[in-house]
Copies of this chain bind each other. A is one copy, B any other.
Amino acid sequence: MSNSAHISQDISSHLLAKRVTKMRSSAVRDLFSAASSSDVISLSGGMPDVSLLDSTSINKATKPTYKESMSEALQYGSTNGREETRAVFCDIMKEIGIFAKPDDVLLTTGAQEALDLIAKTFINPGDIIITEGPTYLGALQAFSAFEPDIHCIEFDENGMKTDLLEQKLKSLEKPAKLLYTIPNFQNPGGVTLCPERRKHLIELSKKYGFLIIEDDPYGRLRYDGGHIKPLKALDKNVIYLGTASKIFAPGLRLGWICASKSVLDSVNLVKQGEDLCGSNFTQIVVEHYFTDTPWATTLQKFKLTYKKRRDAMLKALDEYFPPEAQWTHPEGGFFIWVTLPKYVDCTSMLNEALEMGVTYTPGDGFYPDGKRGKNCMRIAFCYAEPADIEEAVKRLAKVIEQKLELYRAFIDAGAIKEE
């Protein structure tokens, strides 16, 4: 019974819960290591460029943790988070038309924990959840742990097709419980839900009695066009999810849920058992970042930088990508969604891309069944410099071109039909 340095023998695998045996790892997470190689240009991860932040601001935001707020920073906090930090997020929401009080807000470990808490609070096995298809794979991971039945609705450049949603709702045998949407610069689509469809969505939620989860990590990163009112500003029953990850930094892991008292009471209970409370320490840092530093100017710097990168990517796509490829034209956010002829398998193509020194995220991970989206990919313009983005798109175009040569030969031979 002595201990060994190598812990390898295993008695646990047959004891795993059923929910775990169905889980799939995130392709994005798995790629984080590959992307750290210096020869590879990553278009896969949705990492904000935190090098745009300055150390003076971080120093200023951090100082209270070892000065006047030290005891509080080091101690356990309340499950819903510090009131002062919740108030800061209320101020931020006010700027986009959501009027809430600190009591309407609960702090989470990034918006990812918000998704998990909502899922745990509401989803029974077999419950019907509706999402855009494709959608954020982290949301699919959070929901899937509680074994719902997930239905996907297509989007176009104006966001989720609410007419298709209405058809779906009419056809369901039991009512949908939750609808999850990323209305601004969707992940992975890059598309934005237009005002008319926002209204339609709210009407449908009232008619069919489902809760809307509005996930808005990218809303403040708009590079063209005017602001569109959030769903939460149209209907107070919407559960709104925000995060400091993209307007400040993800390393602090601070997001929030804005919802009605009864939703937050239940979520609070769930969070008690999940992690007791978040970190007072990071809450204090984030609070002071948004009160003691010129964060709006820094946000402007973020936006100008990302806009240049988006422009570089759209230009490179126009220049290098083959005529068979289609892609979205985001007005903000981090991502472009590329659709290739359906004979191209982007999952298996990833190895060839990696050999050519570029990575992307294969499309199938953004669907709950992992079957659709195989001919699609998400490419992120947030992290690489414009010159690198051009080079990466060029490399990727070559990989795709090789695949399409075969595709075109088949078409010429009449073996398959052109799409």
Chain A interface residues (CB < 8 Å from chain B): 1, 3-13, 15-20, 23, 25-26, 29, 32-33, 45, 47-48, 50-51, 53, 55, 58-59, 62, 65-67, 70-79, 97-101, 104, 109-110, 112-113, 116, 120-124, 127, 138, 141-142, 144-146, 177-178, 202, 209, 211, 232-237, 245, 249-253, 259-263, 266, 269-270, 272-282, 285
List the B side residues contacting A29 at CB < 8 Å: 78-79, 272, 276
Are B279's CB and A251's CB within 8 A?
yes
Report Cα–Cα, A71/B49, bound state, in Å: 9
Report the minimum CB–CB distance from A179 to chain B (whole Å).
Answer: 12
- Which residue in chain B gives the minimum CB-CB distance to A139? B273
Within 8 Å by CB of A17, from B109, B138, B146, B237, lies B146
24 A-B residue pairs with Cβ-Cβ distance under 8 Å, sorted by A, are A3-B233, A7-B104, A7-B259, A9-B236, A12-B260, A15-B177, A29-B276, A47-B76, A48-B75, A50-B75, A58-B70, A74-B250, A75-B249, A109-B279, A116-B273, A116-B275, A138-B276, A145-B273, A145-B274, A251-B280, A251-B281, A253-B275, A253-B277, A253-B278
Report Cα–Cα, A347/B331, bound state, in Å: 58
Report Cα–Cα, A33/B83, bound state, in Å: 13
Within 8 Å by CB of A282, from B79, B99, B112, B279, lies B279
Report Cα–Cα, A113/B116, bound state, in Å: 13
Are A260's CB and B79's CB within 8 A?
no
List the B side residues contacting A70 at CB < 8 Å: 53, 55, 58
Report Cα–Cα, A332/B77, bound state, in Å: 24
Report Cα–Cα, A381/B276, bound state, in Å: 21
Are A50's CB and B71's CB within 8 A?
yes
Q: A142-B273, A272-B26 are in contact. Are A251 and B50 (CB under 8 A)?
A: no
Q: How many copies does the complex hold?
A: 2
Report Cα–Cα, A55/B98, bound state, in Å: 39
Q: A58-B74, A273-B23 are in contact. Are A260 and B47 (CB under 8 A)?
A: no
Q: A74-B252, A269-B23 are in contact. Are A274 and B12 (CB under 8 A)?
A: no
Other 15 A-B pairs with CB < 8 A, given A47-B75, A281-B285: A3-B234, A7-B104, A7-B260, A15-B177, A53-B70, A58-B65, A72-B251, A73-B251, A74-B249, A109-B109, A116-B275, A138-B276, A253-B275, A253-B279, A274-B274
Report Cα–Cα, A250/B279, bound state, in Å: 8
Are B100's CB and A16's CB within 8 A?
no
List the B side residues contacting A3 at CB < 8 Å: 97-99, 232-236
Within 8 Å by CB of A274, from B45, B55, B112, lies B112
Report Cα–Cα, A266/B274, bound state, in Å: 17
Top 5 A-B pairs, shortest CB-CB distance? A141-B273, A74-B249, A50-B74, A58-B66, A74-B251
Report the minimum CB–CB distance from A50 to chain B (whole Å).
Answer: 4
Q: A65-B62, A67-B55 are in contact. Are A145 and B122 (CB under 8 A)?
A: no
Within 8 Å by CB of A120, from B4, B71, B145, lies B145
